[in-house]
Chains A and B, each alone.
Chain A
Amino acid sequence: MDINRFERLSEFAFGIPAQKNMRVPVVIYADEALMYNMDDQVAEQAMNVAALPGIVGACYVMPDGHWGYGFPIGGVAAFDAAEGGVVSAGGVGFDISCGVRTLYTGLKRQQVEPVKSQLADALYREVPVGVGSRGPIHLNAKAMDEMLYGGAKWAVRQGFGAPQDLERMEERGQMEGALPDEVSEQAKNRQREEMGTLGSGNHYLEIQEVAALQDTEAAAAFGLAEGDVVATIHCGSRGLGHQIGTDFLKRMQLAAAQSGIHLPDRQLACAPIESEVGQSYLGAMRAAINCALANRQIITHLTRTVFDGLLPQAKLDLLYDVSHNTCKLEEHRMDSHSRRLYVHRKGATRALGPGHPDLPEVFRAQGQPVLIGGSMGTASYVLAGSSESERRSFASACHGAGRSMSRHQASKQWRGRQVIDELAARGIIVRSPSQRGIAEEAPGAYKDVHEVVLAAERAGLARPVAKLTPMVCIKG
C-alpha cells in the first residue's frame, strides 16, 4: 500500500479519517515495511467495515493484516446494539473460533530429541489430519447438542482431559449463550464424524522448543523457561463452523436488505444485533465456539495419549487456549464510560491486559497469554496482553504471521518434498498427507513473524514473552 494515503498517527499506527459513508476512522497497526507489503484491498475492506451501522471507535487492522473477504484478515470492529449495531457472519468468517492452544510437556529438548521421529509418527497416526479424516467419536443428535452447549466442559465430562484444563481457556471452556437449535441440520451433519480432527490448510499440531525469552518475569508467570518443550494445536470448529458461516452469510444478505442496510460488499452481510437473524446467528456462532473448544480438547487428549506411550514422564497441562475468529460481547471503557460492545475479531486475538477480571489469577499480574502461530519453518510466539491494548484495539493483537503469497503462487514456487527436506536438514520433522499442501504452506509464503510481533509490541498491543521454534509439525 502507498503509505502516503494514510495519516501518520505514530511510528506504528496509520489512520484513514472517517470520510464519505464511513462512521468511524480506520487505524492500521504496522511498521512501514509491513504497510508497504500489505494489499490495497486491506484499506478498502477496512473502510467498508467502518461504514457498517453501530460501529464505534474505529475499525482496527492488526500488523498481520491481509486481504480477506468482506472484513480484512486481522480486522477488529466493535458494535453497540443500542446504536443499531450489527453482527456480521463475514466479520467472523467460516472458520468460527479457529484458535491456538499451547500445552506444556514438562520436558526439555534433550529429553524429546532422541524420540522425535517416533513422536512425529505416533502423532501423525493418532491425530486425524487432512481431507477425509474422521475423528475418534461419532456424535448422535443428543450428544451433538450437548457438545454445542457444553464446549470443552462437555469434552472433559466425556473423559477427554481434566477439569483443571478448563481454567486455562477463554470463557473457562464453555461459551455462554450458545443455542444449538439455531445450528442447521446440515452444519450438524458436517460435524458428526469430525470431532477431534485437525483439518487442513494452515491448521497444525506442532511440538516446539522455547528457544528464547523476551520477558523473563512474564515467562516465569506463564511457566515457560528456555529449552522447554511445548505442544501447540491450531484448528477450529471444523465443518460445523464452515456451514454456519455459509448459512448465515445467505440469511444476512436478506436481513441486511430488510433492515435498509446498504452493503458495499455482499460478503459484509450482517443483521442488527437486536433482530431475529442477529440473535439466531449469535446463538449458532457461540455453539460453534463451543465446538472449537471441544475439538481442541479432544485433540489435546489424543496428544496426551501419544506422549503417555513414548514419554510417560511428560505432563501436558495447558498454558492457554485462544480463539481468533469470533464475535464476543465484552465491556470496554471508552471516554471514561464502560460500554458493552460486540467485538468482531477476524484473524485477531483477544489480548487482555494485566489486572483484567476475566483472567485466571495466575495471569492477572502479567496479562493474558496471546498465542501467535507462525509458519512451520520459522517461529511462533507467546505474547502478553498489554494495559494499552484496551484503548488501542479493544484489547486485541495479531494472530499469526499472515500470508504474503497466494497458495497458487506458493505451489508454483516450491515442491512439497523440497520443503520437507529443507526443514528436515534443520531438524524440523514434518508429517502431512499432502505434498502440495506442504508447498502451499511453505514458510516463504508467510510474512516475517518476527516483524509482525515487533510491530505489535511497538504499537502497544502486546509484548513478546517467548519465542517458540518447531521441532515436529503435523500438517493438514
Chain B
Amino acid sequence: MKQPSSETRGQAVSPGGARWEHFPHIADMGVRGYGASLAEAFAQTAYALIAIICEPDRIEATVPVSIRCEAPDVELLLVDWLNALIYEIAARQMLFSRFDVEISDGRLEATIWGEAVDRRRHRPVVEVKGATYTELKVCRQENALWRAQCVVDV
C-alpha cells in the first residue's frame, strides 16, 4: 500500500484503495485520485480539489447539486468534471464534500453534496480558478486501481 510521499499531501488509503493526494507544481497544485473504478477515482480527484480550498471534513454534505458532462475521451472528461465542480463552487458560493459519480460511455452523471460557504467555519484558503491539461492523465495502473490527475490553477 503506497502512502502519500513527502512530496504529496493526501489522506489515508481506504480498504478498496480509494484515496486522493496533492502533487506539487511550482505555481499551482496537482490533484490526484485513486479508485477501484474510474468513477471512484474521479470522485477522489474532486475531493483533492476541495482539499485545496479547505479541510473537507468541515463541510456538511446537506444540499445536492447535479452535474452532467460528456467528452470524447476520459482525460477530457476529467477536466470537464473538475471544471463543472469549480463552476458550481463559484456560481453557488458552495463547498462540497460528497461526490456520487457514475460514468458510462464517455458520459458522467454526478450528484454532489455540500453547503453554502461559511467563512468562519470552513476557513477557506484559496479559490481554484480552473482545471488545466497540464500533467493530465487518467489510467488504470498495474494494481488495477484507476488513477486520475491534473494540475489546477489557484
Partners in one complex: yes
Of the residues A189, A201, A245, A267, contact of B154 by C-beta under 8 Å: A201
CB <8 Å contact, A94 and B130: yes
Task: Determine whether A160 belongs to the interface, using a CB cutoff of 8 Å to chain B.
Answer: no
Question: In this complex, what residue of B is CB-closest to A67?
Answer: B26
A131-B117, A253-B76 are known contacts. Are A239 and B90 too (CB-CB below 8 A)?
yes
| Segment at the interface with A among B34-42, B60-68, B99-107, B121-129 | B121-129
- 1/0 per residue B116-148: CB within 8 Å of A? 011100111111011111101000000000000
- 1/0 per residue A409-450: CB within 8 Å of B? 100000000000000000000000111110010000000000
Total interface residues in chain A, CB < 8 Å = 49
CB <8 Å contact, B127 and A131: yes
CB <8 Å contact, A407 and B130: no
CB <8 Å contact, B91 and A249: no
CB <8 Å contact, B123 and A408: no
Chain B residue contacts of A186, Cβ below 8 A: 87, 91
CB <8 Å contact, A69 and B153: yes
CB <8 Å contact, A69 and B133: yes
CB <8 Å contact, A73 and B27: yes
A90 to B53, CA, bound (A): 23
CB <8 Å contact, A131 and B29: no
- 1/0 per residue A218-259: CB within 8 Å of B? 000000000000000000000100110110011001000000
Chain B residue contacts of A130, Cβ below 8 A: 119, 124
CB <8 Å contact, A265 and B153: no
A267-B134, A269-B133, A408-B24 are known contacts. Are A199 and B153 too (CB-CB below 8 A)?
no
CB <8 Å contact, A66 and B127: no
CB <8 Å contact, A408 and B29: yes
Give the distance to chain A from B54, nearest Cβ to Cβ, in Å.
Answer: 8
CB <8 Å contact, B126 and A440: yes
CB <8 Å contact, B133 and A93: no
Task: Determine whether A200 belongs to the interface, using a CB cutoff of 8 Å to chain B.
Answer: yes
- 1/0 per residue B58-79: CB within 8 Å of A? 0000000000000000001001
Task: Determine whether B22 belongs to the interface, using a CB cutoff of 8 Å to chain A.
Answer: yes
Of the residues A94, A265, A433, contact of B133 by C-beta under 8 Å: A265
Chain A residue contacts of B131, Cβ below 8 A: 246
Of the residues A94, A239, A408, A440, contact of B153 by C-beta under 8 Å: A94
CB <8 Å contact, A131 and B153: no
CB <8 Å contact, A132 and B124: yes
Chain B residue contacts of A269, Cβ below 8 A: 133
A67-B25, A69-B134, A406-B29 are known contacts. Are A131 and B129 too (CB-CB below 8 A)?
no
CB <8 Å contact, B29 and A132: no
CB <8 Å contact, B133 and A201: no
Of the residues A66, A249, A433, A437, contact of B26 by C-beta under 8 Å: A66
Of the residues B76, B83, B126, B136, contact of A437 by C-beta under 8 Å: B126
CB <8 Å contact, A246 and B83: yes
Chain A residue contacts of B129, Cβ below 8 A: 94-95, 242, 245
CB <8 Å contact, B125 and A200: yes
A186-B91, A190-B91, A406-B25 are known contacts. Are A245 and B125 too (CB-CB below 8 A)?
no
Give the distance to chain A from B47, nearest Cβ to Cβ, in Å.
Answer: 16
Question: In this complex, what residue of B is CB-closest to A245?
Answer: B130
CB <8 Å contact, B24 and A67: no
- 1/0 per residue A34-59: CB within 8 Å of B? 00000100000000000000000000
A407 to B27, CA, bound (A): 7
Of the residues A132, A201, A245, contact of B93 by C-beta under 8 Å: A132
Task: Determine whether A168 belongs to the interface, using a CB cutoff of 8 Å to chain B.
Answer: no
CB <8 Å contact, B119 and A131: yes
CB <8 Å contact, A132 and B117: yes
A39-B26, A93-B153, A131-B124 are known contacts. Are A243 and B133 too (CB-CB below 8 A)?
no
Task: Determine whether A403 belongs to the interface, using a CB cutoff of 8 Å to chain B.
Answer: yes
- 26 intermolecular pairs with C-beta atoms under 8 Å apart: A39-B26, A66-B26, A69-B132, A70-B134, A93-B153, A94-B129, A130-B124, A131-B53, A131-B117, A131-B124, A200-B127, A201-B154, A243-B90, A246-B83, A249-B132, A250-B79, A253-B76, A267-B134, A406-B24, A407-B28, A408-B8, A408-B22, A408-B24, A408-B29, A437-B125, A440-B126
* A residues apposed to B, CB below 8 Å: 39, 66-70, 73, 90, 93-95, 130-134, 186, 189-190, 193, 199-201, 239, 242-243, 245-246, 249-250, 253, 265-267, 269, 403-409, 433-437, 440, 476
* B residues apposed to A, CB below 8 Å: 8-9, 22, 24-29, 53-54, 76, 79-80, 83, 86-87, 90-91, 93, 117-119, 122-127, 129-134, 136, 151, 153-154
Other CB < 8 Å A-B pairs besides A70-B132, A94-B130, A267-B133, 12 of them? A95-B153, A130-B119, A130-B124, A131-B125, A132-B117, A132-B122, A186-B87, A242-B129, A249-B133, A406-B27, A434-B125, A476-B127
Q: Which 8 A-B pairs have the closest CB atoms?
A: A131-B124, A132-B117, A69-B134, A266-B133, A406-B24, A242-B129, A94-B129, A69-B132
